[in-house]
Structures are given as structure tokens and as C-alpha cells.
């Protein structure tokens, strides 16, 4: 299991609500559960539950499939089993007897037998882990006229030997953000433009960016041409829902990083108090649902809107990814 997959699994499960959801679905087994059943068992608000289910699914920890008008979720044990195997082998020192005997035999055949060096003759070694680096140093080899002294560690001396920048870069993989960036797309009815933008971002974000959508005056239903466009490009439509932006101002709502409104700044309504340090952006976008001259024209309007938003969102996510990678590298340096 590579470091990035390991960190992703640990970071996703390292949150109380997500851990409870995953544990509950493990108990349900192959039967799985719908969001309403999970919300009833855990007492989680719909917006919060939707966010955590999406995070778990994007990390590969949940499998989702349509069940009538609902989505049924099941726990995917593959990532956690790989995590357990990795921990047993690399973190707990649990190696099978056969593997240990094979490794010992290989070392004996490859390395010539040499006398065990004394403590004063052993070279300095660095023992590195992902989260911490420690350096052990020894006193110089004594001369014939001076009696040998035992080795003294840097910790016993009260000093430390910091690892070099190159060692730190190798110890911690760069370009990894433990918490995904959360975006909220806003439009008045939350039935067309913001729904498309939410789906596009979640498809392109690959787990590093998670999007939601809401409306100041939600229609309560998603435009059928928006659903058709998403289905044509292979985006899931089961979780598409027209909802009020008030869902994201409750105490248990997810913290947001960026608000993108589909209207002009001058005509923006008064925003609720969203959780998080939200930066705001304005993307005035023509509402494709206003095109009603014919079915073909309506479908073409939604297709054009989807392509335009895809290009814009892809460019924004690329810039944000570059900025995050540079910030991570600078912090590690």
C-alpha cells in the first residue's frame, strides 16, 4: 500500500462521524443502508451526512448503488484490510515466520561473516519515520592512549541533529492535503447551473476538492435537462438535490473554504453565516433553464453550460492544486 493511499485512508477515517458511519455500515454487512437509515441511527443532519458519505465514497471506503429512488451504501473493506496488513508488517513488527527465516537466510548468503563492532566503532545512523526523524551519533574512535568511552546519543547530550531538507522531503510525501478543499456553488433555484458545477468539481477534484451546491430560493427539484446532461457525460445523478443554502449554516454543517456564486456581485443577496473561513467568488452564468423554445435548444443550452463550466472549473482546480503543492513543499522545506 503506497503512502498516499495509506494517508488518505487514515485521514478519512480519522474523523469521529465518518468513523461512526463506516463502523455502522460494517455492522450492516452486505445489506448496506440508505442515508435515511444512517441518519436515524447516528442522529446526523442531512447536509453533514451527505458530505461525509461523499468523502468516504471518494476514498474508496464505501460502495454506492441505486436502490429505487435512494442510494444504498455498503462498506468496502479492501482499503482497511490493506491498512491492517501494512500496519502489521511495517508498524507492529509482525512478520510471518517463513518470511523472517527467508530474509535471515538471504542475509547470511549475501553478507560475509564479520566480527561484531564495538559500540565505539559503530557509524552514525539515522532512523527515519513518516512523522518524526531522530539522529543517533557516537563519540570519535578513541586513540591508543585514551580509554574508550561509551557512545553518547544526541538526546543524552541535550542536542539534536536535524535532518537535511532532502531527507525531510523524502520522509513526508509532498502534494498531500489531509483535508480536502470544500467549495459551495450557489444559484437562486439550485436546479441547473450550481448542480452542474457541483458534479463537475467532484468528478475533477479526485478527492482533493469536494463540492456542494445550494440556493437562496431552492426549487426543490433538479431540472430534468441538467440530469440528462449529467447522465450523458457519466456523472452520477442519484445525489443531485435542490436544497436551501441554509443547510450549510447549521452548527454541524461542514466548514467551507470557497463560495462561488452564479450571479453578479452587485446583485448578490445577503448570505447566511456559513461555517469556515469562506472566500467568495462571483461567476455570472446564464441560466440554461431559461431556454424553453424547443427540446433541442434546451439540451444544447445545458450542453454548452456544462462545457463552459467544465473548462473554467478545471482551470481553477489546477491553479489551486499548484498553490497547495507549493505551500506543502515550502512547509516541509
At residue 291 the predicted structure's pLDDT band, cuts being 50, 70 and 90, is: very high
Which triple of cell numbers denotes residue 120?
565505539
State the pairing for strand pair 62-67/70-75: antiparallel
How many residues comprise the chain? Answer: 333
- Grid cell in block for residue 159: 542536542
Strongest mean pLDDT among 122-131, 144-153, 190-199, 273-282: 190-199
More confident residue, 141 or 12: 12
DSSP codes joined into one string, 263-290: S-GGG-------SS--EEEE-----GGG
Q: Has this prediction a pTM greater than 0.85?
A: no
Give the range among 165-174, 222-231, 237-246 with minimum mean pLDDT. 165-174
Least confident of 37-51, 54-68, 137-151, 178-192: 137-151
User: How does residue 138 score in pLDDT terms, banded at 50, 70 and 90?
Assistant: very low
Fold of 181-332: Rossmann fold (3.40.50)
209-215, strands of its sheet edge to edge = 209-215, 181-187, 258-261, 279-282
Rounded alpha-carbon distances, angstroms, from residue 242 to 64, 188, 216: 20, 10, 11
Can you give the residue ranges of every domain in the chain? 3-79, 181-332
CATH of domain 3-79: 1.10.10.10
Amino acid at each position: 500500500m503506497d503512502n498516499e493511499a495509506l494517508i488518505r485512508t487514515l485521514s478519512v477515517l480519522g474523523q469521529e462521524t465518518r468513523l461512526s458511519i463506516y463502523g455502522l455500515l460494517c455492522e450492516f454487512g452486505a445489506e448496506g443502508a440508505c442515508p435515511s437509515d444512517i441518519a436515524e441511527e447516528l442522529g446526523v443532519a442531512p447536509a453533514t451526512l451527505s458530505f461525509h458519505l461523499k468523502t468516504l465514497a471518494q476514498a474508496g471506503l464505501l460502495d454506492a448503488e441505486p436502490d429505487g429512488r435512494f442510494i444504498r451504501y455498503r462498506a468496502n473493506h479492501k482499503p482497511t484490510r490493506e491498512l491492517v496488513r501494512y500496519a502489521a508488517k511495517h508498524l507492529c513488527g509482525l512478520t510471518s515466520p517463513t518470511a523472517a527465516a527467508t530474509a535471515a537466510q538471504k542475509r547470511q548468503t549475501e553478507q560475509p561473516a564479520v566480527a561484531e563492532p564495538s559500540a565505539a566503532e559503530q557509524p552514525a545512523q539515522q532512523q527515519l519515520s513518516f512523522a518524526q526523524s531522530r539522529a543517533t551519533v557516537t563519540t570519535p574512535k578513541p586513540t591508543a592512549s585514551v580509554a574508550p568511552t561509551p557512545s553518547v546519543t544526541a538526546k543524552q547530550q541535550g542536542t539534536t541533529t536535524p535532518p537535511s531538507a532532502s531527507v525531510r522531503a523524502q520522509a513526508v510525501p509532498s502534494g498531500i492535503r489531509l483535508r480536502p478543499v470544500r467549495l459551495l456553488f450557489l444559484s437562486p433555484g439550485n436546479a441547473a447551473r450550481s448542480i452542474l458545477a457541483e458534479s463537475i468539481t467532484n468528478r475533477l477534484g479526485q478527492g482533493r476538492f469536494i463540492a456542494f451546491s445550494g440556493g437562496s430560493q431552492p426549487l426543490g427539484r433538479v431540472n430534468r435537462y441538467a440530469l440528462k446532461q449529467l447522465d450523458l457525460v457519466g456523472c452520477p445523478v442519484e445525489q443531485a438535490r435542490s436544497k436551501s443554502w441554509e443547510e450549510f449554516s447549521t452548527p454541524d454543517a461542514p466548514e467551507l473554504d470557497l463560495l462561488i456564486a452564479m450571479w453578479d456581485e452587485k446583485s448578490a443577496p445577503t448570505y447566511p453565516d456559513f461555517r469556515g473561513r469562506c472566500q467568495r467568488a462571483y461567476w455570472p452564468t446564464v441560466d440554461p433553464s431559461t431556454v424553453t423554445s424547443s427540446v433541442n435548444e434546451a439540451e444544447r443550452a445545458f450542453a454548452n453550460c456544462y462545457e463552459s463550466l467544465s473548462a473554467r472549473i478545471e482551470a481553477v482546480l489546477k491553479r489551486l492544486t499548484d498553490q497547495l503543492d507549493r505551500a506543502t513543499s515550502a512547509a516541509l522545506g
